[in-house]
Structure 1
Amino acid sequence: MLLPRLQPPLRAALTSIARSAPSGSQTTCLNDAFAQLAIKSSRRMNGAGVTFVRHASHKAQGAVNKAKDGPGKRLGAKKSGEQYVIPGNIIFRQRGTHWFPGDNCAMGRDHTIYATESGYVKYYKDPEKNPKRQYIGVVFERDQVLPLPRNAMRRRKLNMVAQKREQPKVLVQTDLVMEGDASTGVVLKQKKNKERKGEEGRNLRLRPGYMYRESNWEIGRAAERAQVTVREFKPRDRWTAWRKATIRKAKNAEKRGLGRKIGSKK
Protein backbone atom coordinates (compact mmCIF):
# COMPACT_ATOMS: atom_id res chain seq x y z
CA MET A 1 0.00 0.00 0.00
CA LEU A 2 1.09 3.45 -0.76
CA LEU A 3 1.28 5.95 2.04
CA PRO A 4 -1.43 8.59 1.81
CA ARG A 5 1.14 11.38 1.89
CA LEU A 6 3.01 10.02 -1.16
CA GLN A 7 0.02 9.35 -3.41
CA PRO A 8 -0.73 12.88 -4.69
CA PRO A 9 2.85 13.78 -5.70
CA LEU A 10 3.38 10.39 -7.35
CA ARG A 11 0.23 10.69 -9.37
CA ALA A 12 1.30 14.11 -10.60
CA ALA A 13 4.75 12.74 -11.56
CA LEU A 14 3.28 9.73 -13.40
CA THR A 15 0.86 11.85 -15.42
CA SER A 16 3.68 14.15 -16.51
CA ILE A 17 5.77 11.13 -17.57
CA ALA A 18 2.86 9.62 -19.54
CA ARG A 19 2.29 12.84 -21.44
CA SER A 20 5.93 13.26 -22.41
CA ALA A 21 6.67 9.60 -23.29
CA PRO A 22 5.36 7.79 -26.46
CA SER A 23 2.29 5.52 -26.33
CA GLY A 24 4.22 2.21 -26.36
CA SER A 25 6.41 3.08 -23.47
CA GLN A 26 3.67 4.57 -21.25
CA THR A 27 2.47 1.21 -20.02
CA THR A 28 5.98 -0.05 -19.29
CA CYS A 29 6.89 3.07 -17.35
CA LEU A 30 3.69 2.97 -15.33
CA ASN A 31 4.03 -0.72 -14.60
CA ASP A 32 7.65 -0.30 -13.46
CA ALA A 33 6.78 2.62 -11.23
CA PHE A 34 3.87 0.85 -9.56
CA ALA A 35 5.93 -2.31 -9.12
CA GLN A 36 8.71 -0.40 -7.38
CA LEU A 37 6.22 1.33 -5.14
CA ALA A 38 4.65 -2.00 -4.20
CA ILE A 39 8.10 -3.43 -3.32
CA LYS A 40 9.00 -0.41 -1.18
CA SER A 41 5.67 -0.47 0.60
CA SER A 42 6.00 -4.18 1.37
CA ARG A 43 9.48 -3.62 2.81
CA ARG A 44 8.19 -0.83 5.01
CA MET A 45 5.36 -2.99 6.25
CA ASN A 46 7.80 -5.83 7.08
CA GLY A 47 10.14 -3.42 8.93
CA ALA A 48 13.17 -3.84 6.70
CA GLY A 49 15.06 -0.57 6.11
CA VAL A 50 12.46 1.58 7.83
CA THR A 51 13.64 5.04 9.04
CA PHE A 52 11.42 6.92 11.47
CA VAL A 53 11.62 10.66 12.08
CA ARG A 54 10.19 11.84 15.37
CA HIS A 55 8.73 15.33 15.39
CA ALA A 56 8.33 17.19 18.67
CA SER A 57 4.77 17.23 19.88
CA HIS A 58 5.39 20.22 22.18
CA LYS A 59 7.60 23.25 21.91
CA ALA A 60 10.84 22.98 23.87
CA GLN A 61 10.69 25.20 26.96
CA GLY A 62 13.18 26.41 29.53
CA ALA A 63 13.25 25.23 33.14
CA VAL A 64 10.64 27.22 35.02
CA ASN A 65 11.35 25.97 38.52
CA LYS A 66 15.08 26.09 38.16
CA ALA A 67 17.06 26.98 41.29
CA LYS A 68 17.94 30.70 41.29
CA ASP A 69 21.05 32.46 42.54
CA GLY A 70 19.72 32.59 46.10
CA PRO A 71 16.66 33.08 48.23
CA GLY A 72 14.54 36.23 47.90
CA LYS A 73 15.15 39.25 50.06
CA ARG A 74 11.71 39.03 51.67
CA LEU A 75 10.94 42.70 51.18
CA GLY A 76 7.70 44.34 52.21
CA ALA A 77 5.66 45.00 55.34
CA LYS A 78 6.40 42.84 58.36
CA LYS A 79 3.94 44.53 60.72
CA SER A 80 0.48 45.73 59.80
CA GLY A 81 -1.30 48.83 61.06
CA GLU A 82 -2.17 48.90 64.79
CA GLN A 83 -0.05 45.80 65.43
CA TYR A 84 1.90 45.81 68.70
CA VAL A 85 5.70 46.05 68.45
CA ILE A 86 8.60 46.31 70.84
CA PRO A 87 11.91 48.17 70.40
CA GLY A 88 13.93 46.58 67.61
CA ASN A 89 11.02 44.96 65.74
CA ILE A 90 11.29 45.34 61.96
CA ILE A 91 8.19 47.00 60.52
CA PHE A 92 9.05 47.40 56.83
CA ARG A 93 11.87 46.16 54.56
CA GLN A 94 12.44 48.08 51.34
CA ARG A 95 14.92 49.03 48.65
CA GLY A 96 14.98 52.79 48.64
CA THR A 97 12.84 55.13 50.70
CA HIS A 98 9.26 54.29 49.75
CA TRP A 99 8.43 54.81 53.45
CA PHE A 100 10.13 57.15 55.90
CA PRO A 101 10.50 56.75 59.69
CA GLY A 102 8.04 58.75 61.74
CA ASP A 103 7.42 59.04 65.48
CA ASN A 104 9.30 56.48 67.60
CA CYS A 105 10.82 54.80 64.51
CA ALA A 106 14.24 54.76 62.87
CA MET A 107 15.79 53.65 59.57
CA GLY A 108 18.73 51.27 59.11
CA ARG A 109 21.44 51.53 56.49
CA ASP A 110 19.53 49.14 54.19
CA HIS A 111 16.42 51.37 54.48
CA THR A 112 14.76 49.01 56.95
CA ILE A 113 12.32 50.79 59.25
CA TYR A 114 12.20 49.47 62.83
CA ALA A 115 10.57 50.52 66.09
CA THR A 116 12.45 52.31 68.85
CA GLU A 117 9.63 52.22 71.43
CA SER A 118 6.92 49.78 72.42
CA GLY A 119 3.53 50.61 70.94
CA TYR A 120 1.22 50.24 67.96
CA VAL A 121 2.19 50.70 64.31
CA LYS A 122 0.66 53.55 62.31
CA TYR A 123 1.02 54.23 58.56
CA TYR A 124 0.30 57.87 57.76
CA LYS A 125 1.14 61.02 55.80
CA ASP A 126 2.23 64.39 57.16
CA PRO A 127 1.39 67.25 54.75
CA GLU A 128 3.11 69.81 56.99
CA LYS A 129 6.47 68.01 56.78
CA ASN A 130 6.31 66.77 53.19
CA PRO A 131 3.08 66.21 51.22
CA LYS A 132 4.63 63.49 49.02
CA ARG A 133 6.25 61.31 51.69
CA GLN A 134 4.71 58.35 53.50
CA TYR A 135 5.63 57.75 57.13
CA ILE A 136 5.54 54.84 59.57
CA GLY A 137 5.24 55.65 63.27
CA VAL A 138 4.58 54.00 66.61
CA VAL A 139 2.09 55.32 69.17
CA PHE A 140 1.59 54.25 72.77
CA GLU A 141 -2.21 54.03 72.60
CA ARG A 142 -4.13 52.13 69.93
CA ASP A 143 -6.70 54.89 69.34
CA GLN A 144 -4.07 57.62 68.89
CA VAL A 145 -3.88 59.19 65.41
CA LEU A 146 -0.78 60.33 63.54
CA PRO A 147 0.42 62.91 62.66
CA LEU A 148 0.04 64.75 65.94
CA PRO A 149 -1.05 68.39 65.80
CA ARG A 150 1.61 71.06 65.83
CA ASN A 151 2.89 71.95 69.32
CA ALA A 152 1.00 69.00 70.80
CA MET A 153 2.21 67.16 73.88
CA ARG A 154 4.41 64.23 72.81
CA ARG A 155 5.59 61.09 74.58
CA ARG A 156 8.89 59.63 73.49
CA LYS A 157 10.75 57.99 76.39
CA LEU A 158 10.08 55.70 79.35
CA ASN A 159 6.53 54.97 78.15
CA MET A 160 5.24 57.63 80.51
CA VAL A 161 1.59 58.62 80.46
CA ALA A 162 0.89 62.34 80.24
CA GLN A 163 -1.22 63.57 83.13
CA LYS A 164 -2.31 66.97 84.28
CA ARG A 165 0.09 68.47 86.77
CA GLU A 166 -1.32 69.50 90.10
CA GLN A 167 -0.44 73.01 91.19
CA PRO A 168 1.14 72.95 94.68
CA LYS A 169 -0.36 75.13 97.31
CA VAL A 170 1.67 78.28 97.84
CA LEU A 171 2.25 79.16 101.46
CA VAL A 172 2.20 82.89 102.06
CA GLN A 173 5.06 83.91 104.27
CA THR A 174 4.08 86.40 106.92
CA ASP A 175 6.32 88.45 109.12
CA LEU A 176 3.93 88.25 112.06
CA VAL A 177 5.09 86.53 115.24
CA MET A 178 2.74 85.30 117.92
CA GLU A 179 3.59 86.29 121.45
CA GLY A 180 1.53 85.08 124.38
CA ASP A 181 0.88 86.66 127.76
CA ALA A 182 -1.20 85.31 130.64
CA SER A 183 -3.01 88.60 131.27
CA THR A 184 -3.45 90.08 127.78
CA GLY A 185 -3.66 86.89 125.71
CA VAL A 186 -2.16 86.40 122.23
CA VAL A 187 -0.57 89.41 120.51
CA LEU A 188 0.70 89.53 116.91
CA LYS A 189 3.86 91.50 116.31
CA GLN A 190 5.70 92.13 113.05
CA LYS A 191 9.07 90.47 112.77
CA LYS A 192 11.96 92.63 111.59
CA ASN A 193 14.25 91.12 108.99
CA LYS A 194 17.91 91.36 109.82
CA GLU A 195 19.93 93.41 107.34
CA ARG A 196 23.65 93.61 106.93
CA LYS A 197 25.38 96.75 108.06
CA GLY A 198 25.54 99.30 105.30
CA GLU A 199 22.93 97.47 103.17
CA GLU A 200 19.80 98.85 104.76
CA GLY A 201 16.98 99.10 102.24
CA ARG A 202 18.88 97.37 99.45
CA ASN A 203 17.02 94.87 97.26
CA LEU A 204 19.69 92.34 96.30
CA ARG A 205 18.82 89.89 93.55
CA LEU A 206 20.83 87.27 91.65
CA ARG A 207 22.01 88.83 88.39
CA PRO A 208 23.74 87.28 85.36
CA GLY A 209 27.22 86.29 86.36
CA TYR A 210 25.99 85.00 89.76
CA MET A 211 26.21 88.41 91.40
CA TYR A 212 23.87 89.82 94.03
CA ARG A 213 23.47 93.49 93.20
CA GLU A 214 20.97 96.07 92.12
CA SER A 215 20.16 96.78 88.53
CA ASN A 216 22.15 99.45 86.69
CA TRP A 217 19.44 102.08 86.83
CA GLU A 218 19.15 101.65 90.61
CA ILE A 219 22.91 102.16 90.99
CA GLY A 220 22.72 105.30 88.83
CA ARG A 221 19.83 106.77 90.88
CA ALA A 222 21.75 106.07 94.09
CA ALA A 223 24.81 107.88 92.69
CA GLU A 224 22.64 110.88 91.77
CA ARG A 225 21.15 111.02 95.25
CA ALA A 226 24.64 110.86 96.81
CA GLN A 227 25.82 113.57 94.36
CA VAL A 228 28.66 111.43 93.06
CA THR A 229 30.30 113.09 90.06
CA VAL A 230 31.62 110.76 87.38
CA ARG A 231 33.64 111.83 84.38
CA GLU A 232 31.54 111.64 81.29
CA PHE A 233 32.48 108.81 79.01
CA LYS A 234 33.46 109.85 75.50
CA PRO A 235 33.18 107.08 72.95
CA ARG A 236 36.04 106.66 70.49
CA ASP A 237 38.40 108.81 72.59
CA ARG A 238 41.47 106.82 71.55
CA TRP A 239 43.92 109.57 72.69
CA THR A 240 42.84 109.26 76.32
CA ALA A 241 42.92 105.48 76.13
CA TRP A 242 46.46 105.53 74.69
CA ARG A 243 47.67 107.89 77.44
CA LYS A 244 46.23 105.66 80.16
CA ALA A 245 47.77 102.56 78.64
CA THR A 246 51.18 104.26 78.36
CA ILE A 247 51.10 105.40 82.00
CA ARG A 248 50.04 101.91 83.17
CA LYS A 249 52.84 100.21 81.22
CA ALA A 250 55.43 102.66 82.59
CA LYS A 251 54.34 102.02 86.17
CA ASN A 252 54.48 98.25 85.67
CA ALA A 253 57.95 98.48 84.20
CA GLU A 254 59.06 100.63 87.15
CA LYS A 255 57.70 98.04 89.60
CA ARG A 256 59.53 95.25 87.86
CA GLY A 257 62.77 97.24 87.95
CA LEU A 258 62.43 97.88 91.70
CA GLY A 259 61.81 94.21 92.33
CA ARG A 260 65.00 93.24 90.54
CA LYS A 261 67.09 95.76 92.46
CA ILE A 262 65.72 94.55 95.78
CA GLY A 263 66.22 90.88 94.94
CA SER A 264 69.71 91.32 93.50
CA LYS A 265 72.86 90.32 95.46
CA LYS A 266 74.69 93.61 94.81
Structure 2
Amino acid sequence: MMNFTASICRRLSIRDLMASTAVYNSASDVSGEGLSLIFRRWATKKTAGSTKMAVTRYQKTLGLKNFGGERVIPGNIIVRQRGTRFHPGNYVGMGKDHTLYALKEGCVKFERHKLTGRKWVHVQPKEGYEIHPVYASSGAARKVQTAA
Protein backbone atom coordinates (compact mmCIF):
# COMPACT_ATOMS: atom_id res chain seq x y z
CA MET A 1 0.00 0.00 0.00
CA MET A 2 2.83 2.37 0.82
CA ASN A 3 4.49 1.74 -2.53
CA PHE A 4 1.28 2.56 -4.39
CA THR A 5 0.76 5.95 -2.71
CA ALA A 6 4.44 6.80 -2.95
CA SER A 7 4.44 6.13 -6.69
CA ILE A 8 1.39 8.36 -7.24
CA CYS A 9 2.92 11.20 -5.21
CA ARG A 10 6.17 10.98 -7.24
CA ARG A 11 4.38 11.16 -10.57
CA LEU A 12 2.08 14.07 -9.67
CA SER A 13 2.68 16.67 -7.06
CA ILE A 14 -0.11 17.59 -4.63
CA ARG A 15 -0.21 21.13 -6.01
CA ASP A 16 -0.91 19.77 -9.52
CA LEU A 17 -3.70 17.58 -8.20
CA MET A 18 -5.36 20.45 -6.35
CA ALA A 19 -4.97 23.10 -9.03
CA SER A 20 -6.25 20.94 -11.88
CA THR A 21 -9.61 20.15 -10.26
CA ALA A 22 -12.11 23.01 -10.30
CA VAL A 23 -14.65 22.78 -7.49
CA TYR A 24 -16.81 25.73 -8.62
CA ASN A 25 -17.35 27.20 -12.05
CA SER A 26 -18.23 30.79 -11.16
CA ALA A 27 -15.79 33.65 -11.81
CA SER A 28 -15.50 34.63 -8.14
CA ASP A 29 -14.23 31.17 -7.20
CA VAL A 30 -11.59 30.99 -9.94
CA SER A 31 -9.57 33.78 -8.33
CA GLY A 32 -8.60 31.64 -5.31
CA GLU A 33 -6.00 28.88 -5.12
CA GLY A 34 -6.88 25.21 -5.28
CA LEU A 35 -6.73 24.55 -1.54
CA SER A 36 -8.91 27.53 -0.70
CA LEU A 37 -11.54 26.28 -3.15
CA ILE A 38 -12.09 23.13 -1.13
CA PHE A 39 -12.76 24.98 2.12
CA ARG A 40 -15.15 27.53 0.59
CA ARG A 41 -18.35 25.47 0.83
CA TRP A 42 -21.60 26.60 2.42
CA ALA A 43 -24.02 24.56 4.49
CA THR A 44 -26.88 23.12 2.49
CA LYS A 45 -29.26 23.16 5.48
CA LYS A 46 -29.70 25.53 8.37
CA THR A 47 -28.96 23.96 11.71
CA ALA A 48 -31.94 22.99 13.89
CA GLY A 49 -34.44 24.10 11.24
CA SER A 50 -36.49 20.94 11.48
CA THR A 51 -36.95 21.18 15.24
CA LYS A 52 -38.23 24.76 14.99
CA MET A 53 -40.83 23.71 12.43
CA ALA A 54 -42.03 20.64 14.36
CA VAL A 55 -45.69 20.70 15.41
CA THR A 56 -47.02 18.39 18.11
CA ARG A 57 -50.38 16.88 17.20
CA TYR A 58 -52.37 15.20 19.94
CA GLN A 59 -54.69 12.27 19.43
CA LYS A 60 -58.43 12.84 19.70
CA THR A 61 -59.01 10.09 22.33
CA LEU A 62 -62.28 8.91 20.83
CA GLY A 63 -64.27 5.90 22.02
CA LEU A 64 -66.21 4.65 25.01
CA LYS A 65 -65.49 6.37 28.29
CA ASN A 66 -68.10 4.54 30.42
CA PHE A 67 -69.13 0.96 29.67
CA GLY A 68 -72.40 -0.88 30.25
CA GLY A 69 -73.35 -1.22 33.92
CA GLU A 70 -71.11 1.60 35.15
CA ARG A 71 -72.51 4.36 37.36
CA VAL A 72 -72.58 7.87 35.87
CA ILE A 73 -73.58 11.26 37.20
CA PRO A 74 -75.06 14.11 35.15
CA GLY A 75 -72.49 15.52 32.77
CA ASN A 76 -70.29 12.42 32.57
CA ILE A 77 -69.16 11.67 29.03
CA ILE A 78 -70.19 8.20 27.91
CA VAL A 79 -68.97 8.12 24.28
CA ARG A 80 -66.75 10.42 22.20
CA GLN A 81 -67.33 9.78 18.52
CA ARG A 82 -67.29 11.24 15.02
CA GLY A 83 -70.75 10.85 13.56
CA THR A 84 -73.53 8.91 15.23
CA ARG A 85 -72.15 5.43 15.68
CA PHE A 86 -74.08 5.35 18.97
CA HIS A 87 -77.39 7.22 19.26
CA PRO A 88 -78.64 8.93 22.42
CA GLY A 89 -81.39 7.10 24.30
CA ASN A 90 -83.17 7.74 27.60
CA TYR A 91 -81.47 10.39 29.75
CA VAL A 92 -78.54 10.77 27.34
CA GLY A 93 -77.71 14.05 25.60
CA MET A 94 -75.68 14.66 22.46
CA GLY A 95 -73.20 17.52 21.96
CA LYS A 96 -72.46 19.30 18.69
CA ASP A 97 -69.45 17.02 18.07
CA HIS A 98 -71.70 13.93 18.60
CA THR A 99 -70.39 13.34 22.13
CA LEU A 100 -72.91 11.44 24.27
CA TYR A 101 -73.22 12.44 27.93
CA ALA A 102 -75.43 11.52 30.88
CA LEU A 103 -78.37 13.74 31.86
CA LYS A 104 -79.32 11.84 35.06
CA GLU A 105 -77.52 9.78 37.66
CA GLY A 106 -77.76 6.05 37.04
CA CYS A 107 -76.24 3.09 35.17
CA VAL A 108 -75.22 2.99 31.51
CA LYS A 109 -77.07 0.50 29.29
CA PHE A 110 -76.34 -0.28 25.64
CA GLU A 111 -79.09 -1.53 23.35
CA ARG A 112 -79.08 -2.68 19.73
CA HIS A 113 -82.12 -2.67 17.48
CA LYS A 114 -82.60 -6.08 15.86
CA LEU A 115 -83.88 -4.90 12.47
CA THR A 116 -81.92 -1.73 11.79
CA GLY A 117 -78.78 -2.57 13.79
CA ARG A 118 -78.77 0.92 15.31
CA LYS A 119 -77.01 1.13 18.68
CA TRP A 120 -78.59 3.13 21.49
CA VAL A 121 -77.07 4.31 24.77
CA HIS A 122 -79.42 4.69 27.74
CA VAL A 123 -78.96 5.73 31.34
CA GLN A 124 -81.18 3.76 33.72
CA PRO A 125 -81.96 6.30 36.41
CA LYS A 126 -81.07 5.73 40.03
CA GLU A 127 -83.97 4.75 42.27
CA GLY A 128 -86.02 7.73 43.36
CA TYR A 129 -86.09 9.39 39.93
CA GLU A 130 -89.38 9.59 38.11
CA ILE A 131 -89.56 8.94 34.37
CA HIS A 132 -89.68 12.16 32.40
CA PRO A 133 -92.96 12.73 30.48
CA VAL A 134 -91.11 12.70 27.16
CA TYR A 135 -89.88 9.18 27.82
CA ALA A 136 -93.16 8.00 29.36
CA SER A 137 -94.78 7.87 25.90
CA SER A 138 -92.11 5.53 24.45
CA GLY A 139 -92.83 1.83 23.99
CA ALA A 140 -90.16 0.70 26.45
CA ALA A 141 -91.64 2.85 29.21
CA ARG A 142 -95.13 1.43 28.56
CA LYS A 143 -93.85 -2.14 28.94
CA VAL A 144 -92.25 -1.24 32.26
CA GLN A 145 -95.40 0.43 33.53
CA THR A 146 -97.73 -2.39 32.46
CA ALA A 147 -95.47 -5.07 33.96
CA ALA A 148 -95.40 -3.32 37.35
Q: TM-score, with normalisation over the residues of structure 1?
A: 0.31
Per-residue CA deviation, residues 187-207 of structure 1 (Å, 9 max, x unaligned), is xxxxxxxxxxxxxxxxxxxxx
User: What is the CA deviation profile of residues 178-226 of structure 1, one whole-angstrom value per residue up to 9, with x for unaligned ones?
Assistant: xxxxxxxxxxxxxxxxxxxxxxxxxxxxxxxxxxxxxxxxxxxxxxxxx
Matched, 1:97 2:77: no
CA distance in 2, matches of 1:121, 1:3: 85
CA drift at 1:81:
2.2
Alignment partner, residue 143 of structure 2: 152
For 1:87, the equivalent position in structure 2 comes to: 74
RMSD: 4.3
Mapped to 1, the partners of 2:97 and 2:118 lie a distance apart of: 18
For 1:134, give the aligned amino acid: K
Q: Distance in 1 between matches of 2:141 and 2:103?
A: 22
State the match for 1:135 in structure 2. 120
| Secondary structure of 1:153 counterpart | helix
Q: Give percent identity, aligned residues only.
A: 33
Structure-2 separation of matches of 1:151 and 1:111: 28
Q: Which runs of 5+ in 2 are unaligned?
A: 19-34, 42-49, 127-138
CA distance in 1, matches of 2:75, 2:55: 33
Equivalent of residue 35 in structure 1, options 3, 6, 10: 10
Q: CA deviation at 1:140?
A: 4.1
Amino acid across the alignment from 2:55:
A
Q: How many residues align?
A: 106
Gaps of 5+ in 1: 5-30, 54-61, 142-147, 155-162, 165-266
In 2 relative to 1, CA 71–35 (structure 1 residues): closer, same or farther, beyond 3 Å?
closer
Decide which moves more: 101-110 or 70-79. Answer: 70-79
After superposition, residues 36-55 of structure 1 pair within 5 angstroms as 36-37=11-12, 39-40=13-14, 49=35
The whole-number CA distance in structure 2 between the counterparts of 1:2 and 1:98 is 79
- Corresponding residue number in structure 2 for 1:67: 55
In 1, the alpha carbon distance for the partners of 2:99 and 2:4 equals 71
Q: Matched residue of 2:117: which SS? A: strand
Secondary structure at 1:96's aligned position in 2? coil
| Structure 1 residue identity aligned to 2:100 | I
Query: How has the CA–CA distance of structure 1 residues 36 and 71 changed in structure 2, closer, same or farther, with 3 Å as cutoff?
Result: same
Q: Deviations over 1:58-92 (max 9, x none)?
A: xxxx76xx323x64443322212211101221111
Distance 1:71 1:34, change over 3 A: closer
- Distance (Å, rounded) in 2 between the aligned partners of 1:2 and 1:109: 82
Between the two structures, name the one with larger relative contact order (CA 8 Å, sep ≥ 6): 2
